[in-house]
Structure 1
């Protein structure tokens, strides 16, 4: 691959691209390649509506009041700076903040996070795709999540990306791929895989960047030490070191 490549990683939430690809991004930027991380669900909740009960419960558990999105945007800027990527935050709210046309919350309980994209939200994929098509340069390499774990926002991101007329790559969603011991090669032949040698220094910066998401580390991994162990275990079996071409 040439050193002048321009990569755009589509991250469903503020941390997904860094969690899954932080070491690769360190190595890509070190080679002089341009890397941007576009957070898809980076918008604020509707200030004219009370938070849905599930979202309110999550805010209370994290002890952040109503300022979670602002906090996570700041965490994301710090994390992306550590790996050399620039940031773009989309305006679509996280699924926990979204409502269906009848006014009911999209997410009522944790099980709803893993359902297929709701029929009422299919138009969101179309709108996202049109927005990206008008903003993504024709020669940019777009990287989307495989949607391992089946989180609804990951599915929505992949669905929207697959309609783009752009070179498209995929990454394995961490930590879901690790938690569920999912195959990292996605069943694709070797000629459709781009491997990136991620060295020890890049691994350390990857872990440091994840640690910048202070609101998420304990919830996802139990502790920072637990995070570093899980990232290294993922890395040792090849995770976060290659992308797949559609």
Structure 2
């Protein structure tokens, strides 16, 4: 059978692969089965972009997230999340990198308005780049203030590709429209010659990638079904997140979906 896409050709070799993860669980949630299988024969690097919170006062959206995680302190929660991620990836034989970006829930405006500090204690939304989850973070409208962040991340990812000599760069396709996922995709698209997009799980349980748009961009779907059962215990290792993500306790087994530049 001819090797019809870049990922097929890469599978035949042993060049390193670099995965960009928006948050401290996304790469394993979306790509864990492929990552663990490939880590047996090649170097796998998972670079997580948004790995930090910020001190209070917090928006209602951020406070709601903390309650969902049964956490009272954002700094301690994110320290625990980083420890979880390191443990999971090291167990899988993967090299973890934490890039230190601030999660959208906690990302402040670069320059608060004059005299806003007193108001910020009463209404933290006025000093945050994404004041709400539903109407800001989840609508996929990247704030103008994050344009410089995207440029910096593109530079950082290009540098990482050179340092790791990665043959493929995996980025989220952005199912669910979470701004951090879209920013992560944009950070990787500067390396379009190597990029593979992955479908964002568990967002893709309720929404689907825009396959027509991806086809127009030259991407073809590719699935990985081996070792899916091994993902469940890995996901549960993210103990601060698993119950909030899967409140009924069931983690569905779903083939991992990727979009690969075809025919080149």
Q: Any idea what the Cα deviations from partners look like across 1:210-240, whole Å, max 9, x if unmatched?
A: 111112112111143x11xx2x1x22xxxx1
Larger Rg: 2
Q: Extract structure 1 runs of 4+ deviating beyond 6 A.
A: 183-186
Match of 2:120 in 1: none
1:185, distance to aligned residue in structure 2 (A): 9.1
Which structure 2 residues correspond to residues 1-246 of structure 1 after superposition, within 5 A?
Answer: 1=10, 2-30=12-40, 32-45=41-54, 47=55, 50-66=57-73, 67-103=76-112, 104-111=127-134, 112-115=136-139, 116-137=141-162, 139-140=165-166, 141-164=168-191, 167-182=194-209, 187-188=214-215, 193=220, 195=222, 197-199=224-226, 202-224=227-249, 226-227=250-251, 230=252, 232=253, 234-235=254-255, 240=256, 242-245=258-261
Q: Under a length normalisation based on structure 1, what TM-score does the superposition of the two structures give? A: 0.83
In structure 2, C-alpha distance between the alignment counterparts of 1:44 and 1:114, rounded to whole Å: 18
CA contact (8 A) 1:170 1:245 kept: no
Where in structure 1 are there 5+ consecutive unaligned residues? none
Q: Secondary structure at the match of 1:84?
A: coil
CA contact (8 A) 1:43 1:89 kept: no
1:4, distance to aligned residue in structure 2 (A): 1.7
CA contact (8 A) 1:44 1:91 kept: no
CA contact (8 A) 2:157 2:187 kept: no
Instruction: Describe the shift of the 1:7–1:179 C-alpha distance in structure 2 as closer, same or farther (beyond 3 A).
Output: same
Where in structure 2 are there 5+ consecutive unaligned residues? 1-9, 113-126
